[in-house]
Structures are given as C-alpha cells and as structure tokens.
Amino acid sequence: MKNISVNYSVENGVGLIKLNEPKSRNALSTEIKKGLLTSLDLAEEDPEVKIVIISGEGTTFCAGGDIKGMGSRTTLESVEKINITSRIAIRMEAFRKPIIASVTGYAVGAGFSLALASDIIFADEESKFGLSFSKVGLIPDCGALYYLPRMVGPWKAKELIFSGEMLSSNQAQNLGIVNRIFPKGQVFAESVLFAEGLAKGPAQTMQFVKTIISKTANQSLAGTVEYENYAQSILQQTDDHAEGILAFKEKRKPVFEGK
C-alpha cells in the first residue's frame, strides 16, 4: 500500500496497521486517516487476516486531531475534515474482524476515540488516556460520545469529558477501558503474541460475536437471542465447528482454518 503515513503488513494471520507520523505524534492528519481506512479495507478483504492490530510508530499511539488549520477553516472545510474522521469510527464498527489497539504513550483526543472504537485495548504501563476537547472548546468525536458512556456510564463519561482529565493505564483499566497492561516497551510484542493466538482460533466465531455485541447494544433480550440463534445455526455447519467437536472427542487441541 503506497501511503507512508500508515504502514500495513500481514504476519501469521494478523493485519498490522501502524500510524507512521511520529514527528506529529501520529496526530490524525488527512493522510493518516485515508491510510487507516485503506488498510482496514485491505485487512477485511484478505482471507489470511483473522485479526488486526492498530499501533503507533514512536513513543505515542495517537495525539488526536491534527491541529494544523484549526481555527481558520470554513464551515464547509470543517465538515469535510470531520466526515473523514467519522468514517473511521463507522468503518471500525462495521469491520467484521477483531481489532486490538496497542497503545504506547498517549492516546488523547481523537486518538482516545480511535482506541475506544477497537474491540480490545492493550496498554503500556506508562500510557495516558484523555479527551482534551473541552480545552479547545470542542466536543469529542470519532465515536467517543457513543463508546465512552457505554464503557464507564454516562455520569463518569460526562465528568471525564467536561474536565479533560488524563487517565493513567491503571485508572483506565479500573474503569473497564483497558483490557491488559504490560511493562514499558512490551505492549506491541504482547499484542502480537495475543493476536497470533486468536488468529489460530475459529475466525467466523469471533466475527459473529463482534457483530452481535455491536448490533444488540440497544436490543432487548429477545432481540439479542434472535441474533444468537441465527449465528449459532450457521456456525454449526462450519468446518471449524466439526473440527472442534472431533478434537474434543480425540482429546487434542483443535486446528481451525476459518472455514
């Protein structure tokens, strides 16, 4: 993929998407946003990719929106910029495969939103998370007002947004935002190790789980069960399910192929 602002590669069933503008601390420039969307398309279309990791080159995951031009754009220019940013959150929500955000350093502003739009967040022990929009007279975007209240509750979300408070990795984990914390310098390697383990699992099962949880956030129990029944009926016809049953009977580890 010809976009030096985002590096994309595939290793052992894992799609690696790395934001690559370390001088700006991987702020979401137009090139990064376009490269991220293109990388997600490539990863979803590639049958070899079972899971994706988003990370940042250098010492920062993502410093948020690109402040170049802020305060001088026309309304139409602002709409165009924010529409591209919004497409990222919508694309990640619709993305069928699991996404891990591997966070080193700061994930602030839209960078925090990017992590929230992922399915799993792993963080360095020294990472920081924050929504600093109020400090520049703006509101969170890129889906943050959707995800954060669902993770921490509406009252805590409003406190964090109004204050622009910065959270440590431990604080973010205690609030249910971060899944796992790793020692300094190890988060990316641990993310890859975890992702490679998932890539050996039943890919279609993970895809259905992600889709159902996303689609039923505001559903009743009856509506959720309907999704579950539909997915379970399909999965029972897959080769991976047959392999799982056979491996159980033969008392061995299953070898899944995502079929």
CATH of the domain at 64: 3.90.226.10
- Pairwise pLDDT comparison (81 vs 185), residue with the higher score: 185
Cα–Cα distances in angstroms (integers) from residue 155 to residues 99, 117, 151, in the given order: 27, 20, 11
23-27, 198-202, 252-256: segment of lowest average pLDDT: 252-256
Q: Give me the helices (H) in 95-202, please.
A: 110-116, 144-152, 154-163, 169-174, 187-199
What confidence score (pLDDT) does residue 121 get?
Answer: 98
Q: What confidence score (pLDDT) does residue 249 get?
A: 86
Mean pLDDT of 26-37: 93
155 & 208 share domain: no
Beta bridge partners of residue 182, listed in sequence order = 124
pLDDT band at 257 (very low <50, low <70, confident <90, very high): confident
**Predicted pLDDT at 233:** 81
Q: Phi/psi class of residue 103: alpha, beta or left (left: φ > 0; alpha: ψ in -120 to 50)? A: beta
Question: Are 221 and 99 contained in the same domain?
Answer: no
Which residues fall within 8 angstroms of residue 154, CB to CB, at 6 or more apart? none
Quote the domain boundaries for residue 176: 6-199
219 domain-assigned: yes
Co-location of 134 and 186 in the same domain: yes
Q: Alpha-carbon distance 218 to 191, whole Å? A: 30
| Residues 185 and 215 both lie in one domain | no
DSSP string across 229-240? HHHHHHHTTSHH
Does the pTM surpass 0.85? The reply is: yes
One domain for residues 178 and 53: yes
Q: Say if residue 169 is in the same domain as residue 235.
A: no
Q: Assign residue 153 a region (left: φ > 0; alpha: ψ between -120 and 50; beta: otherwise).
A: left
What is the pLDDT at residue 200? 94
37-41, 77-81, 109-113, 164-168: which has the minimum mean pLDDT? 77-81
141 & 68 share domain: yes
Same domain assignment for residues 63 and 134? yes
Which of the four pLDDT bands, split at 50, 70 and 90, describes residue 241? confident
Q: Do 90 and 210 fall within a single domain?
A: no
Whether 259 is in a domain gets the answer no
Q: Report how many domains make up the chain.
A: 2
Domain termination residue (choose one: 199, 219, 240): 199
Element (H, E) at 42: helix 30-45
In this structure, the answer to whether residues 163 and 236 fall within a common structural domain is: no
Say whether both 141 and 226 belong to one domain.
no
Span 112-140, mean pLDDT? 90
Residue 67: pLDDT band with limits 50, 70, 90: low
Which domain-ending residue is among 167, 183, 199? 199
Taking residues 91-104, report their average pLDDT. Answer: 96
User: DSSP E strands: which ranges in the chain?
Assistant: 6-11, 14-19, 51-56, 99-103, 106-108, 120-124, 128-130, 166-168, 180-182
- More confident: 139 or 44: 44
More confident: 84 or 77 = 84
Widest CA span in the chain: 67
